[in-house]
C-alpha cells in the first residue's frame, strides 16, 4: 500500500487529495494535513467583507466530507520535511503539530511515499509595520474571519456617513511585493457598490493604492483584449471602470508603514508620501509558511529544497537572468522537486522562477512590482495534474512525471465582482491565454487575442454567483463533482 500525504486543503490541495482518493481506491491511503477545520471558498470572501454573505455561506467542515469518502484527515500543521528519513526512521516523513481542540501542540511523525506541498501562503502582515487586522490598523479579506471583521468595520464607516461624516476609504496592496491585486480590485468596487446602495456615496472618498506599474497589471504584466473590433489595453479597460465609479487611484506604491488612520508609502520615483484614511483594506504580501527540511543526519537542508521566499523549488529554471531573457520555458511543467522525485508542490506553494510583470525598483532600491498569482483556476489545474502523475506512479509504476501543465501554456478565466446584486450587480469577466505571456509565439501582445477577452456587466455577476455554488458543490464532493472543471 502506498501513502500520499497532502499538506494543505485549499483549492490545489483539496483538488489533489480528492481526485487521488477517488482514483486510488481503498488499496492505498491518502492523508490530508491541514491546520484548518473548515474549507473556505476564498473568492467569495469579497462578499463576506461587505456583509452580503456570512462565513457560513463560504465555508464547510472538512472532516465529514473526508470521512464520507475514506480520506484520512489530520487537523494539524506540517512543521518539517525529512525527505531521506532519519537515523531513527528509514522512510521519508514529515512532522506535524496538531491544532485540533484537545490535541493542540501534540506532535506526530507521518511517513509518506509521495508528498504534495499545497500549504498555500503565509499572510505576511509583518512585512509592513502596522498592517493587518490582528495587531495593525487595516482590515483584510484573505480569510472568512478577516472578511467578517472587515464587514463590521465597513458598516461602522457607513453609519458615520449616514450621520453626515465624510469617510476616507483606502483599498489595495499593503506592500511593494504583493500579489492578489484582483482581490483588492474586487473589494474596491463592492465597497463602492454598497456605499452607493446605502445612499451615502457623496460622503465617501474612495482611493485604490497598488504596487502595479499600471492599473490592470494584476501581476501578469497586464493584457490586451479585443473588444468591438478594437484592441484595448487592460490599462484603459481598468482605468475606465475606476473613472466611471469615481474611484481615485495611486499606483507604483510600496506601503512601508501603517499608523492609525494613516499610511506611509514610497512611489517608484523614490518619493515618500502619506495618505490618511478612516477605513482601509490592504492585501498583505505572501511568503512560504515556514516549513523546515532536514537531511538523514539531521542537517538543515531547507535552503536546498526551498527558495528564499519559503516556496518549494520544482522543475523551473531558477537561473538568474535579465528580464529580456525570460521565457515560458522557465516555468515548471511537472511541479516535481528536482532532488526528491516523490515531492511535488501545487498552487501558491511552488516557487515561481521569476516575476511575470517587469521587475521595478525605486532609486532607493525598493522593489515595487506585483509578484506572480498562482491562485484560483491555475491552482486547481496544477493540483489535478500532479494527482494524475502520482496516480500513474502508484498504479502503473511510472518513474517520471506523466502529466504536464505550464502556466506558459495554460489559459485562465476570472470573474471579478464589481458589486453584488441579482439585478444591480456587475462583474468583469476576463479570459487570457496564456497566463504567462509568450512573446515568441505571440510577438505583438504575448497572448492569443482570440482567447483573451474582457467584458463587464450584470451577466458576469450571474456567472460569478453560479460559480460560487458550483465550486462549493464540487468541493463538498456531491453528486457529479468530478464533472465540474477546475
pLDDT digits (tens, 9 = 90+) for 292-305: 999 999 999 999 99
Please give the span between the terminal C-alpha atoms of the chain, in angstroms, as a whole number. 29
Q: Specify the pLDDT at position 411.
A: 92
Burial class for 258, CB neighbours closer than 10 Å (0-12, 13-18, 19+): buried
Domains along the sequence of the chain with CATH? 3-123+287-396 (3.50.50.100)
Q: Specify the pLDDT at position 88.
A: 87
Place of cell 535552503: 303
Cβ-based neighbours of 25, under 8 Å, separated by 6 or more: none
Q: Specify the pLDDT at position 465.
A: 94
Q: What is the pLDDT of residues 5-43, one digit of tens each?
A: 999 999 999 999 999 999 999 999 999 999 999 999 999
| Dist. CA 185–CA 327, nearest whole Å | 28
| Dist. CA 435–CA 412, nearest whole Å | 6
Question: Could you tell me which of 286, 7, 281, 306 has the C-alpha nearest to residue 122?
Answer: 286
Q: Specify the pLDDT at position 375.
A: 86
The residues with which 170 forms a beta bridge, in sequence order, are: 207, 280
Q: Which portions of the chain are predicted below pLDDT 50?
A: none
| Dist. CA 296–CA 312, nearest whole Å | 19
Question: Could you tell me which of 86, 85, 69 has the C-alpha nearest to residue 32?
Answer: 69
Is there a contact between 74 and 30 (Cβ–Cβ < 8 Å)?
no
Q: Specify the pLDDT at position 229.
A: 78
Amino acid at each position: 500500500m502506498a501513502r500520499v500525504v497532502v499538506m494543505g486543503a485549499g483549492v490545489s490541495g483539496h483538488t489533489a487529495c480528492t481526485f487521488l482518493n477517488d482514483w486510488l481506491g481503498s488499496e492505498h491511503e491518502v492523508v490530508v494535513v491541514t491546520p484548518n477545520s473548515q474549507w473556505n471558498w476564498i473568492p467569495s470572501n469579497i462578499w463576506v467583507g461587505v456583509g452580503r454573505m456570512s462565513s457560513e455561506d463560504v465555508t464547510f467542515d472538512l472532516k465529514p466530507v473526508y470521512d464520507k469518502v475514506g480520506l484520512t484527515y489530520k487537523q494539524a500543521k506540517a512543521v518539517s520535511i525529512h525527505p531521506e528519513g532519519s537515523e531513527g526512521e528509514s522512510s521519508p516523513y514529515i512532522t506535524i503539530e496538531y491544532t485540533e481542540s484537545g490535541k493542540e501542540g501534540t506532535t506526530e511523525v507521518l511517513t509518506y511515499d509521495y508528498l504534495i506541498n499545497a500549504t498555500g501562503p503565509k499572510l505576511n502582515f509583518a512585512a509592513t509595520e502596522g498592517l493587518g487586522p490582528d495587531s495593525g490598523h487595516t482590515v483584510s479579506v484573505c480569510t472568512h474571519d478577516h472578511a467578517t471583521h472587515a464587514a463590521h468595520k465597513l458598516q461602522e464607516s457607513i453609519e458615520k456617513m449616514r450621520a453626515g461624516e465624510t469617510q476616507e476609504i483606502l483599498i489595495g496592496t499593503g506592500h511593494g511585493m504583493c500579489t492578489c491585486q484582483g482581490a483588492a480590485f474586487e473589494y474596491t468596487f463592492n465597497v463602492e457598490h454598497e456605499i452607493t446602495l446605502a445612499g451615502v456615496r457623496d460622503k465617501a472618498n474612495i482611493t485604490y493604492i497598488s504596487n502595479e506599474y499600471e492599473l490592470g497589471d494584476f501581476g501578469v504584466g497586464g493584457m490586451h483584449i479585443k473588444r468591438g473590433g478594437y484592441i484595448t489595453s487592460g490599462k484603459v479597460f481598468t482605468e475606465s471602470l475606476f473613472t466611471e465609479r469615481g474611484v481615485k487611484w495611486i499606483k507604483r506604491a510600496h506601503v512601508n508603514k501603517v499608523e492609525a488612520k494613516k499610511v506611509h508609502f514610497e512611489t517608484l520615483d523614490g518619493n515618500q508620501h502619506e495618505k490618511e484614511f478612516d477605513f482601509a483594506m490592504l492585501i498583505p504580501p505572501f511568503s512560504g509558511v515556514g516549513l523546515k527540511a532536514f537531511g538523514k543526519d539531521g542537517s538543515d537542508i531547507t535552503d536546498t529544497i526551498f527558495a528564499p521566499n519559503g516556496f518549494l523549488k520544482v522543475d523551473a529554471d531558477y537561473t538568474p537572468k535579465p528580464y529580456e531573457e525570460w521565457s515560458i520555458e522557465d516555468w515548471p511543467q511537472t511541479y516535481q522537486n528536482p532532488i526528491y522525485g516523490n515531492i511535488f508542490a501545487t498552487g501558491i506553494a511552488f516557487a515561481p522562477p521569476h516575476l511575470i510583470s517587469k521587475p521595478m525598483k525605486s532609486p532607493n532600491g525598493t522593489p515595487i512590482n506585483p509578484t506572480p498569482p498562482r491562485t484560483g483556476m491555475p491552482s486547481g489545474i496544477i493540483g489535478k495534474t500532479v494527482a494524475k502523475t502520482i496516480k500513474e506512479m502508484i498504479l502503473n509504476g511510472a518513474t517520471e512525471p506523466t502529466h504536464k501543465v505550464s502556466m506558459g501554456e495554460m489559459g485562465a478565466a476570472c470573474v471579478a465582482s464589481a458589486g453584488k446584486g441579482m439585478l444591480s450587480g456587475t462583474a468583469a469577466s476576463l479570459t487570457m491565454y496564456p497566463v504567462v505571456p509568450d512573446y515568441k509565439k505571440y510577438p505583438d501582445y504575448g497572448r492569443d487575442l482570440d482567447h483573451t477577452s474582457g467584458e463587464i456587466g450584470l451577466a458576469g455577476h450571474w456567472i460569478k454567483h453560479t460559480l460560487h455554488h458550483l465550486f462549493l458543490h464540487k468541493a463538498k464532493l456531491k453528486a457529479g463533482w468530478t464533472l465540474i472543471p477546475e
